[in-house]
Amino acid sequence: MAQPTDDAAPSPTPTPTPAATLRKAVPRYRTYKAVALVIIAAWLAFAFTHRPAWLRYRRPRRDRAVGDVEWLHSMRCSPGTVCGSIIVPKDYFNASAGTASIAIAVRRATKTPKKGTVFLNPGGPGGSGVALATEGFANLIGHDWDILGFDPRGVNGSFPQVACFESMSAANLFTANTILENSFTIPSSNLSDSEVRAAVRTELTAQAREYIAVTKAQAKICAERMGEEVRYMGTATVVRDMDFIVRILDGEDAKINFWGGSYGSIMGEYLVNMLPDRVGHVVIDGIMDPVNWSSEPSYKYTVNWLSSIEKTYKFYLQQCSQAGPSRCPLAKYTNEPYESIMARIETFLDQLALEALPVLGDAVARQGVLTSGGVRATLLIYLQVPAWWSISAKALASAMAGDATVLYNLLLSRTSARRSNAPNPHYDLARLAVSCMDSLPPAVNLEPTPDDLAEELLHMLESVSPHFGANVFISEPDGGCQFWPRGPERFTGPWNASLEVPMLIVSNTMDPITPIENGLLVNSMMPESSRLIIQDGPGHVSLSMPTLCTQKLIRGYFAGDIPANGTTCETEYSYFPSKSPMALDTEQGSAAAQIPLQVLSAEDVVLLESAKTVGELLQAIRLGW
């Protein structure tokens, strides 16, 4: 149920203020760990004593009334899209809290009659949705819908804006050579040996101590700059924003329609279960477990997320083996046993665990050292997008041969490779501002200790993923929530709402971070009010490597055709092709489906090309490129 926190208006069943009223109203590890802690301490001492001008939170330039919509014709938008903002209540339970401004981008329906408005969310949390309101997305959903991309609270063009650091340079300086960049680093180990396990636990505890110190420092920096503003970023509040916005734009009785991928699936799950009578068509893709998300402390999320990662990694190596060294240089010869490739990678990573590799020269984004934890975290990210498998394999093979430039730049691509002076980089802490408002707060005086985190990591390594179990905290950074405040509302279910139109659930069989088991779970909790589409292949979210089968079913759903539950779409890719795996030309045909172009209709070509373009856009948004 929706639960007010201790700071919210006391009510056994909280009811938002009506809209009308609101409108009125490792061996060498410890050496650089110590250096990292000194850097953090120096940063905090400077930030909290000097209070430079950038620590003053930036607000919109003028006051506007709740419900006010402003279309900004001078704003750079996608062609055919109008951009603007709408003022919403900051706290739906307390009108005196003030207002928030939500950035929106709307692409109008070009066919009549218009069916409604579909809200879009790319994931994250922290992904900007305004860039999704494009011709490509209209091709996927249908041109008889308005499509509305929006920046959830805290993100990009919306206010309050989570901007804890002055710039990307400031964020880079904070994370450089800390555990947030190098990740947890340990050699491959036989954890069934009690002595080895004890030694690994000691090392993980030391690294967890740094992780807690860094995440605590992050939270303090954000609190100093943002104050109470971060309390209003939770998913339940964003759901109420969508309800408020659609009433303003389309009328009081208009339904909320939605497409969301990755974390966007959480937003969709909250939406249909919080406001089932307000919902129309909803598609969620790359499914996260809402029970896990809302009922566990954030440091325990990862057991659920990585349950398919080893299957994906094995498939990655098998495909590399089949491709052979000319297309996947990790393999020594075509059809080499994948176990042999895996063993060589582990040997390299064990060497890095003992001695990090310096990466120098003009070709690197920033000189530094490559750690085994950093490599594992980077590979975990690239396993999510099969179109990037060739890039990752070549970069890893080059590093194993002694040149880590490309691989290290891939690691830094989430931070340093982007604009150093960006005023509010995607890498800022909007993700934590959301996940920490949603997750189960730790009991008083029972916050996770370094020992707790070490034990959780050992559990991950032993029971879930021996290759990536200690690194997901870096690629999916949701830890440290014990240092963040709590919001006015936290939704915890139930998750079995009845809907007028069944929700469409899309899951890949080898999604490395949102396993198909999550899609099956959500489908089972809403057996009469959901339909599951299974895309049989790897990748995070079906658009990571789209198929005509899946995309036709999604477009048909928005046209009123509800697919049978459990419909499966096959995927036939060349994962290590001689050309780009997303290429579409007359020589190679459609690599996304291995169908010659002459077999495809003109409509299918447009659909497939649009899916490819939107898939690339989603990855760019999620990584902040």
Residue 604 belongs to domain with CATH number: 3.40.50.1820
Instruction: Quote the longest CA-to-CA distance of the chain.
Output: 72
Q: Which residue has the higher pLDDT, 318 or 55?
A: 318
Whole-number pLDDT of residue 524: 99
Count the neighbouring beta carbons within 10 Å of the beta carbon of residue 584: 17
% pLDDT > 70, the chain: 83
pLDDT in tens, 80-128: 899 999 999 999 999 999 999 999 999 999 999 999 999 999 998 988 9
> Residue range 600-623: average pLDDT?
90
In angstroms, the CA 5 to CA 464 distance is 33
C-alpha distances (whole Å) from 286 to each of 29, 236, 323, 516, 519 are: 36, 20, 27, 8, 8
Is residue 345 predicted with pLDDT exceeding 90?
A: yes
Of the pLDDT bands very low, low, confident and very high (cuts 50, 70, 90), residue 348 is very high
Whole-number pLDDT of residue 12: 37
229-243 b/e with 16+ CB inside 10 Å = b? bbbbbbbbbbbbbbb
Whole-number pLDDT of residue 49: 30
CA–chain centroid gap for 192, Å, is 34
Is residue 451 predicted with pLDDT exceeding 70?
A: yes
Highest mean pLDDT among 294-298, 331-335, 419-423: 331-335
> Which structural domain, as residue segments, surrounds residue 514?
112-160+235-296+490-623
> Residue range 534-540: average pLDDT?
96
Look at 26-30, 88-92, 367-371 and tell me which has the smallest mean pLDDT: 26-30
3-state helix, strand, coil in the chain (%, to 5): 45, 15, 40
Is residue 625 predicted with pLDDT exceeding 90?
A: no
pLDDT in tens, 283-313: 999 999 999 999 999 888 888 899 999 999 9
Is 303 inside a domain boundary?
no
> Residue range 595-602: average pLDDT?
71
Q: Which residue has the higher pLDDT, 242 or 433?
A: 242
Look at 110-119, 217-226, 324-333, 589-598 and tell me which has the smallest mean pLDDT: 589-598
For the chain, what is the mean pLDDT?
Answer: 85
Is 266 inside a domain boundary?
yes
Contact 255, 110 (CB under 8 A): no
User: Helix or strand or coil: residue 109?
Assistant: coil
Of the pLDDT bands very low, low, confident and very high (cuts 50, 70, 90), residue 231 is very high
Alpha-helical regions (H) of 179-308: 179-182, 194-226, 235-250, 263-274, 290-295, 302-305
% pLDDT > 90, the chain: 66
Please count the residues of the chain: 625
Is 317 inside a domain boundary?
no
Is 519 inside a domain boundary?
yes
Nearest Cα neighbor of 507 from 560, 553, 471 is 553
Contact 257, 137 (CB under 8 A): no
Whole-number pLDDT of residue 412: 83
Is 362 inside a domain boundary?
no
Of the pLDDT bands very low, low, confident and very high (cuts 50, 70, 90), residue 18 is low
Q: How are beta strands 81-89 and 69-71 bridged, if at all?
A: antiparallel
Is 526 inside a domain boundary?
yes
pTM of the shown model: 0.88
Whole-number pLDDT of residue 589: 32
Q: How are beta strands 489-491 and 2-4 bridged, if at all?
A: antiparallel
Whole-number pLDDT of residue 239: 98
Long-range contacts of 192-198 (CB under 8 A, 24+ apart): 197/458
Count the neighbouring beta carbons within 10 Å of the beta carbon of residue 76: 6
In angstroms, the CA 341 to CA 207 distance is 29
Is residue 192 predicted with pLDDT exceeding 60?
A: yes
Contact 190, 196 (CB under 8 A): yes
Whole-number pLDDT of residue 399: 97
Q: Which residues share a beta bridge with 121? A: 260
Amino acid identity of residue 220, one-letter, is: K
pLDDT in tens, 118-156: 999 999 898 899 999 999 999 999 999 999 999 999 998
Whole-number pLDDT of residue 61: 54
Whole-number pLDDT of residue 77: 78
Is 441 inside a domain boundary?
no
Q: How many domains does the chain have?
A: 1
Amino acid identity of residue 590, one-letter, is: S
